[in-house]
A and B are shown apart, each in its own frame.
Chain A
Amino acid sequence: MIQLENIEKVYRTDTLETVALSGINLSIRKGEFVSIMGPSGSGKSTLLNIIGLLDVATGGKVSLNEKVVSSHKDRDLANLRNRELGFIFQKFHLINDLRAIDNVEIPLLYRNMSYKERRKMAEEALEKVGLISRTSHFPSQLSGGQQQRVAIARAIVGKPKILLADEPTGNLDSQMSDEIMNILKELNQQEQTTVIMVTHDKRMADMTDRIIRIFDGRQVA
């Protein structure tokens, strides 16, 4: 489903060249739950951003559904992010001035959909994460765990085939972390959604099918 070939990411300034990723070859199958581990600054998030088409590799090829996408234009990449990918972040990134349901419907705004359809799908997504009773709440009226569940609802509202989670439990206590992991596992098992999760937490990583380890920008396992 996702194929990375010899991925390289180098940040260049006039005087300095920093290698963030080098020689990454990776293949992730449909329905896999993969975690990416590694110390801070090892390149985990950069790798996730390249997989998520938010960042462009300086070398190598990224393929999605057996099509090379690394050379696509902004409009096509945006469309792929919108249809195929869902993102979950450590800091939730909810818009504080919007109610939960309005936050959830954001990805659907970039599709040709009526307001009614959007609302229906957003409600379904909130129901999946157990927050149907909180649709009209603003993020500030929700706990950290609830906010992350809203963020998951936003990530899955468009029914993407791949979920990319960047330390989704990093800001949560262990109980809430478990709740979030259970939701991700459910999505993975029941809906065959491919999940790629960056984490520092070994306990969380052990709950996934496969662990990819990154060290100094290189894949070590």
Chain B
Amino acid sequence: MIRHLLKLTWNRKRSNFLIMLEIFFAFLVLYVVTTLGVFYVDNYNKPLGFSYENVWSIVMDTQQQSIAPQQKIEKTQQLLLALKSFDEVEEVGGMFILPFSAPDYNNNYRINGRKVSVHINTVTDELKDVLDLKITRGRWFEKSDEAAKANLVVINESLSKELFGDQDPIGKPLFEVGPGEKEKIVVGVIAEFRKNGELAPLTNYFFERASMYDTVNFTLPSQLVIKLRPGTTAQFEEKLVTRLQNTVGEWSYEVESLAEAHRSHLLFYLTPLIVLGIIAAFLILGVSLGLIGVIWQNVTARANEIGLRRAAGATLTHIFTQILLELLLIASLGMLLGVLLVMQFPLLGIIDFISAKVYMTALVISVVFIYLVAIICGLYPSWLATKVQPTEALHAE
């Protein structure tokens, strides 16, 4: 029967062309939305690697084109002392690139002939406690590292796996460096650090140590993060800024809770999904109406055929199934080109940070969804087809 219906549907491809085209485009948009959705869900299920609750960021603006390193260190030390004097503040750390912020710093390294993309951040010793980073191997930075000859780094598990596989990376140089360059030695591994939040993909990450006293390389961060005691309210912000301005009045300060930044960043990721989802919903609605129209018209225009099939021995179930199967075949033909097209994505690795698993899951979901829509659209017209009276259908003009 399927073969027979496939022939029938294929031979009617011209009259079904528009609806097939509509299904094709709806499938493509749905696939993009589903891929994005599955990608986000897949990312969401992985650990974030840090805690942002009760953490505020302070962006310091020196308001000057240039400032002597020594002067900046002194002023920053004054600010740190001021911050630590608050009962509400548990810990203060510094970092170059804040979690959930737009800026990012990444570099592509060629290691053993492979291109490895790595995200880098420079942070102070206190950051581990502020963001509650989980050390899985080795240790975090400490004050005694000030005297180290090499650049000490803490890497995440993703980078450790990428560069060292199952080997222990502790004490090993991160990359081979050129002459005159300082080696980067791994002192510790953290579980993860997903700076862009739960919806962003896992990235290779390493932290370099920022020295509060380095006047040569001037690694002192211009952003501070403070861990507040639980129960600290938003009113504390005013008190905080006042104290900072009283300490170093010529600088300006922008304070934001990381929880708020997290919410904004989530929206940044979800907006394209929402927009595409709305477009997909309208397309699916169009497809649904189109399918109902096509099948309804089919049932009406093909009353003779239905009557003939009944005369030839088709039961009511046969007729119902046939109409529904034809609808599924139209949907299949509409999706066929789309499926062939999207299968190329994982094969060619077009978007390398999306895994083949995500692509295939999205493909299955999209195909099943289109079939479900087709079945729902086909139920009523298929039922109508069973109401065709063969005696009337076979005598109708």
Task: Answer yes or no: are A and B bound together in one complex.
Answer: yes
Interface residues of A in 76-127 (CB under 8 A from B): 78-79, 81-83, 85, 87, 89, 91, 93, 95, 97-98, 102, 105-107, 109-111, 115
Known pairs A102-B7, A115-B3; A95 contacts B312 (CB<8 A):
no
B310, A54: Cβ atoms under 8 Å?
A: yes
Minimum CB–CB distance from A149 to chain B (whole Å) comes to: 16
Contacting A89 at CB < 8 Å: which of B11, B12, B394?
Answer: B394
CB within 8 Å for A74 and B315 given contacts A54-B391, A93-B308: yes
Known: A45-B395, A105-B4, A115-B3. A98 touches B313 (CB 8 A): no
Query: Counting CB contacts under 8 A, is B138 at the interface?
Result: no
From residue A78, how far is it (CB to closest CB) to chain B in Å? Answer: 4
Is A78 a contact of B7 with CB atoms below 8 Å?
no
- Number of interchain pairs (Cβ within 8 Å): 75
A110 touches B313 (CB 8 A): yes
**How near does chain A come to B17, taking the closest CB pair, in angstroms?**
14
Interchain CA distance A55-B395 in the complex, whole Å: 13
**Residue in B closest to A75 when the chains form the complex, CB atoms:** B315
The reply on B139 being an interface residue by CB < 8 A is no
Q: Is the interface of B mostly helix, strand, loop or mixed?
A: helix
- 1/0 per position for B1-26, CB-CB distance to A under 8 A? 10110011001100000000000000
Point out the residues of chain B lying under 8 angstroms from A52, CB to CB.
Answer: 311
Q: In the complex, what distance in Å separates the CA atom of A54 from the CA atom of B316? A: 13
Q: Is the CB of B313 within 8 A of A93?
A: no
Contact B307 A93 (CB under 8 A): yes
Provided the pairs A98-B8, A98-B11 are in contact, do residues A87 and B3 lie with their beta carbons within 8 angstroms? no
A106→B394 contact, CB < 8 A = no
Q: A55-B391, A89-B394, A97-B12 are in contact. Are A82 and B7 (CB under 8 A)?
A: no
Q: Give chain A interface residues in 47-67, CB to chain B under 8 Å.
A: 49, 52, 54-55
* B110 sits at the interface (CB 8 A): no
Contact of A82 among B12, B305, B312 (CB under 8 A): B312
Closest 9 CB pairs of A and B: A82-B313, A107-B312, A97-B11, A110-B313, A78-B315, A87-B311, A93-B308, A49-B391, A55-B391
A-B contact pairs, 9 of them (CB 8 A): A46-B391, A74-B315, A79-B315, A82-B313, A97-B8, A106-B308, A106-B312, A110-B312, A110-B315
